[in-house]
Structure 1
Amino acid sequence: MKSYGIERSSRLILLLIYTFISAIFAFIYLTKSGAQRDGFCFENPFFYLITITTLCFIVLVHASISSRHKPIVAFGSLFLFLFLSEISFCIFYGEIISEGVLDSIIETNSHEVMSMTKQALLIIGPAFITTFLILFVLKKLIFVKFRIFVPLSLYILILSVVLLFLVTKSSLKSDIKNGHLKSSVSVIRTIFPAVLGDLSYLLASYASTDIYSNTNEIEKFNQAVILPPNKYDNDLIVFIMGESSLVSRYSAYGYHQQTTPFMTNIFSQNGGCIIPNSHSAAALTRDSIPMTLSFNVPESNDNLFDNKSIIEMARFNHYKTYWLASAAQAIQGTFNSKFGFIARKSDVITFSEDLLDINLSQLLEDTLQKDNSPKKFIFVHLRGSHQPYSKGYDEVDKLALPDVEEYDLTIHHTDRTIKALYDVINKYSNNYTIIYTSDHGEIVNVGHGIGDNVDQFLIPFMFISTNQRYNCQFIESFRGPDGYLSGIMNKYILSNLLGYEIDPAILDKEKNNDRVFMPNSSVMPFLEVLNKH
């Protein structure tokens, strides 16, 4: 009787500890996800629901680890490791894992996976060590066992109710029918944030990439486009998309290190302009590029599938289209990326064999030398300043700037790349327009797609044209009343360059609604993000 009383008391104490951990987890999840902005967290019914599901999960993990069956122990250990990885991510980045990060895990290539190894180790390393410590404690020091009938039944019951809601709710039924599973699974993730929610979302994200596999041409133009297009007057349009490029690290914009001497000279010439106060539409490549090259908007992906992209519009107006990218930005397979859906509509898709961007100039020269098509639209996607920074520069950059941060060296390498590309363009054309900007900015030495730090949105925008019709005033006409040029405007700028007129009423509406797509999939006014910092 005495040992039974001690065991029962120990079980109660441990249950109280697990409940406390679950309540803290629920509080952090609600506050960090933005689901709880005002008022007390304890007034939110989701706080108690998340606490219950997390408590059930922890008790089930405890019971699995305490099992005598090795396969069950292995599964319990895996789920414990995943849970601790979520906690480690929150500690390291100060926020929960966003849907944007989960999507990027699925929609990536092998080069990007390898580039993020260091950041991944910083998260999973502590989680791995802590998992072994907990396993040791539960196996060697704590001999409390829980009956799993109640937590398992409660967990399954809540999950069944949520699934029933998803299946019967009319607004979600159509999404499920069309294969758009992520919006439905987001509901599961809200109620079961401990492991199950993230695993479900990853599975749904993987299943949903099938929607990017269709390569058939889209017939419908966006309602903003006035048809028919005009006779084109740009023989060569080159749009160069940088990567993870923070504008405040450019000497062209006032940075104290000479990181961009070539760009400063090129875009200060007659016909060129270095545009201040520009920001990207999103903080992740997978979201930003579609809002540049299609009529996708932060609120919805519908236009991506319903309207012609800029690539298709260029082809419609007799431009031959090319997608050139560094090996680090290779599109692997037909299912792996949202912007790959757009890229595959190009006439020619080519990737360099080297990670360094400087080699793209040879790829461009080969393209222009071999192809005598009179009209060309070329999209060039750089590796830029993506982590790890050590892979984004070479000895030439180190000799030019011997005492700077690695990130600054990647900007200098981009500067050399733009110069090399510009020289090739000048060699083969006397009627061209060049735009250089970036898909998003960078929180230097941290990354991007994290929280609400404005640095991941602040980007350069540079322009030069031999056509006097397209000058700095042309670009400035797309600036919003808040004083910023949004990445959302890229599609309209390119439409004009390709010979299309844009409905002024729709354009003004977009300019007056300057917003960004956040890493957590919410939409915020840009000035609200800017004013937080």
Structure 2
Amino acid sequence: MIYLIVFISVLLQSFLFSFKNDRYRLSNILVVSSMLCSFFFLYKPLALFFLSFAVCFMAVEIYVVLKYKDFNEGILESILNTNKNEFLEVLSKNLILLIPAAFLILLINFLIVSQIQSNLRIGLLLLVPFFIAFFSSQVRLIRVDRKLKKYAQNSSAFNVLNSLDKLDKNVISSIRTKYPIFFGNLFYLLNYRGSGEINFHENRQCPDFLKDDKSTKVKNIILIIGESAMPDRFSLYGYSDFLTTPRIKQWNNLTILEGVHSLSNMTRTALPFLISYPEVHDFSKAYTCKNIFDLAKNKNIHTSWIGNQAIDSLFTSSYGPIAKCADLVLSRDHTSTGFPFTPKDDLDLLHAIENEFKQYGMANNGSNNLFVIHTVGSHAPYSIRSDEIDKIALKGADEYDLSIHHTDRLLDEIKKLADRQLEDYMLIYTSDHGEVVEDEGGGLEHGLTFGGYQQYKVPFVILNNSNFNFNIEKYRKNSGNYANDISSLLIAEAMGYKLDEKFIFDYTCSDEILHSDYIVYDYKDLPQQINQRKRAA
């Protein structure tokens, strides 16, 4: 009876996933159900361990698919790229759900433990389909790896592309697609190599569309990169439920861009567009071409990266190697000074920012400077992104609105420091990507295949307290939108680089994004939920 229940359970779960054909569906059901049944014939403690792991793993799969309509590789890699602090934050926020879930799983295990009977021969026989699928998949991966190594010996560009999970992921991605229930995700996790530490080309070339104008337009450039900020919740953009951005709204000389979207819906692929010059069809240019820090150094401009997020975790983020190009690097897990830097809140960055402004500002004859500040912004769980000051100011507001108000306070404090310490400056604020604000603490409010436009819409404001006259309209796409990679283009202009007119023409003619399924789409053609009207808001 228990074996029939296992088979029916896996069969029902299979209808939550898409299969290429029924043969693949039956194959996945056979592999997983026979594996689960084999555990009932193992030594009891061992059987209990494997059953608990499998049940928990499959429960997570079901939860993600039911809630987010998809379990794409972006979500899986976000889990892999989660550092200890982010894991503990999400864990603490979801204890109310996790405790009863853990109790339920223990209860299920208690009920089925009586069904376990040691018979190693039958257990191993039932594991045969699993072993056949696993070893045949592993052999296929080894064969492809051998071919990739041959290519790598002859092409440095290949190594850059491969480090971005574009090539050696093809096999594990196809196996994951073939066996989406348990086996495919397990195989993917066991064989995932991460992006690794990307080795820059020793002689990175200046992007061919940039020409040095031999002058510097702005003495101090400040780029503030937010996280998961959605303009629909900024009172600056017309949000009327709560006054979430009262301070920014009072700024003079402020340019507020409407209709701005990110180039991707995940930090790992969205953020490099803000500080380097990749293309959606050739992401490797983030590492083979000079980035904003390289361009600054060519003109003797001092550079700094001050961030409230990790850049040097086990699975190194795609922007980490670029951030490390700055003269000063301060992040949670890597500093160029060798001293620990442990901000717990975005406001904790202010002391380091003030020191940089003082050291390189007008009090010390002021060098030309590029300051990049990376915040944790409104990343889930939202409840820890604000404090009592925000709650008092916005009584009755939800936790996401409070996080926006917290960001408003940070931006205003940075502006005050710049007013006091810097001779002239241009400040740019945007977010790496947007957010689908559905619930609290899931950590999956972006990077969704069917998440729509909310996870792309971002704020973009420019505070220009300098004599630099920029023409922002020339960056508007023919579609009417802006993309937030104009931050890197504006910074290049402010540093005294001239943009090729043909590049600007081609840039405005295209409005494409790199989605979390690693497919390039025209922005107006983003994957949508079946019942969702397709439109680029």
Task: Provide the TM-score with structure 2 as the length reference.
Answer: 0.83
Partners of 1:260 and 1:293 lie apart in 2 by: 25
**1:503 aligns to what?**
500
**1:387 aligns to what?**
380
1:99 aligned residue (60, 64, 73): 73
8 Å CA contact retained: 1:294, 1:308: yes
Partners of 2:26 and 2:467 lie apart in 1 by: 63
Could you tell which deviates more after superposition, 151-160 or 519-528? Answer: 151-160
Partners of 2:115 and 2:145 lie apart in 1 by: 51
2:520 aligned residue (507, 515, 523): 523
**Residues 28 and 298 (structure 1), Cα distance of their counterparts in 2 relative to 1, 3 Å cut:** farther
| Pairwise CA distance, 1:277 | 0.8
**Residues 150 and 490 (structure 1), Cα distance of their counterparts in 2 relative to 1, 3 Å cut:** farther
Partners of 1:182 and 1:126 lie apart in 2 by: 36
2:477 aligned residue (472, 476, 480): 480
| Pairwise CA distance, 1:264 | 1.4
**2:327 aligns to what?**
347
8 Å CA contact retained: 2:306, 2:373: yes
Partners of 1:308 and 1:356 lie apart in 2 by: 31
Instruction: Flag structure 2 segments of 5+ consecutive residues without an equivalent.
Output: 153-158, 332-340, 440-444
Partners of 1:173 and 1:494 lie apart in 2 by: 37
**Residues 107 and 261 (structure 1), Cα distance of their counterparts in 2 relative to 1, 3 Å cut:** same
| Pairwise CA distance, 1:381 | 0.9
Residue 302 of structure 1 aligns with an amino acid whose one-letter code is S
**Residues 498 and 85 (structure 1), Cα distance of their counterparts in 2 relative to 1, 3 Å cut:** same
Could you tell which deviates more after superposition, 368-377 or 159-168? Answer: 159-168
**1:370 aligns to what?**
359
**2:262 aligns to what?**
280
1:356 aligned residue (303, 320, 345): 345
Partners of 2:255 and 2:203 lie apart in 1 by: 35
Partners of 1:124 and 1:200 lie apart in 2 by: 25
Could you tell which deviates more after superposition, 498-507 or 246-255? Answer: 498-507
Partners of 1:170 and 1:115 lie apart in 2 by: 37
Partners of 1:147 and 1:127 lie apart in 2 by: 31
**SS class of match (2:472):** helix
8 Å CA contact retained: 2:244, 2:408: yes
Residue 244 of structure 2 aligns with an amino acid whose one-letter code is T
Residue 253 (structure 1) aligned with residue 255 (structure 2): no
Could you tell which deviates more after superposition, 64-73 or 425-434? Answer: 64-73
| Pairwise CA distance, 1:317 | 2.4
Residue 83 (structure 1) aligned with residue 72 (structure 2): no
Deviations for 1:31-75, whole angstroms, at most 9, x for unmatched residues? xxxxxxxxxx6xx33x42243134212221221144234224422
**SS class of match (1:360):** helix
8 Å CA contact retained: 1:279, 1:484: yes
**1:3 aligns to what?**
none
Partners of 1:202 and 1:123 lie apart in 2 by: 25
Deviations for 1:450-470, whole angstroms, at most 9, x for unmatched residues? 332321111110002234443
**1:420 aligns to what?**
413
**1:74 aligns to what?**
49
8 Å CA contact retained: 1:88, 1:126: no
1:57 aligned residue (12, 32, 47): 32
Deviations for 1:118-168, whole angstroms, at most 9, x for unmatched residues? 566577656644533443343336989994566533333344444444455
Residue 448 of structure 1 aligns with an amino acid whose one-letter code is H
Partners of 1:55 and 1:123 lie apart in 2 by: 31
RMSD: 3.1
| Pairwise CA distance, 1:431 | 2.1
Residue 398 (structure 1) aligned with residue 397 (structure 2): no
**2:110 aligns to what?**
136
Partners of 2:462 and 2:521 lie apart in 1 by: 27
8 Å CA contact retained: 2:218, 2:468: no
Could you tell which deviates more after superposition, 486-495 or 247-256? Answer: 486-495
Higher helix share: 1
**1:309 aligns to what?**
291
Deviations for 1:380-409, whole angstroms, at most 9, x for unmatched residues? 111211122222122222222222112111
Residue 198 (structure 1) aligned with residue 185 (structure 2): yes
**SS class of match (1:252):** helix
Partners of 2:68 and 2:93 lie apart in 1 by: 10
8 Å CA contact retained: 2:41, 2:123: no
**1:36 aligns to what?**
none
8 Å CA contact retained: 1:182, 1:208: no
**SS class of match (2:305):** strand
8 Å CA contact retained: 2:6, 2:37: no
**SS class of match (1:465):** strand
**Residues 438 and 478 (structure 1), Cα distance of their counterparts in 2 relative to 1, 3 Å cut:** same
**1:211 aligns to what?**
197
8 Å CA contact retained: 2:36, 2:51: yes
| Pairwise CA distance, 1:260 | 0.8
8 Å CA contact retained: 2:30, 2:129: no
Partners of 2:94 and 2:319 lie apart in 1 by: 24
8 Å CA contact retained: 1:84, 1:131: no
Residue 28 of structure 1 aligns with an amino acid whose one-letter code is L
**Residues 335 and 389 (structure 1), Cα distance of their counterparts in 2 relative to 1, 3 Å cut:** closer
Residue 262 of structure 2 aligns with an amino acid whose one-letter code is S
**Residues 287 and 140 (structure 1), Cα distance of their counterparts in 2 relative to 1, 3 Å cut:** same
**SS class of match (1:233):** coil
**Residues 148 and 413 (structure 1), Cα distance of their counterparts in 2 relative to 1, 3 Å cut:** same
| Pairwise CA distance, 1:83 | 1.8
Could you tell which deviates more after superposition, 86-95 or 425-434? Answer: 86-95
Partners of 1:150 and 1:506 lie apart in 2 by: 63
Partners of 2:227 and 2:176 lie apart in 1 by: 30
Deviations for 1:255-314, whole angstroms, at most 9, x for unmatched residues? 112111211121xx23x2111111112222222111211223334432233222222222
**1:449 aligns to what?**
447
**Residues 223 and 23 (structure 1), Cα distance of their counterparts in 2 relative to 1, 3 Å cut:** farther
Instruction: Flag structure 1 segments of 5+ consecutive residues without an equivalent.
Output: 1-9, 31-40
Give the paired residue count.
Answer: 497
Residue 397 of structure 2 aligns with an amino acid whose one-letter code is V
**1:431 aligns to what?**
424
**2:301 aligns to what?**
319
8 Å CA contact retained: 2:41, 2:116: no
**Residues 236 and 254 (structure 1), Cα distance of their counterparts in 2 relative to 1, 3 Å cut:** same
| Pairwise CA distance, 1:489 | 3.2
**Residues 304 and 409 (structure 1), Cα distance of their counterparts in 2 relative to 1, 3 Å cut:** same
**SS class of match (1:393):** coil
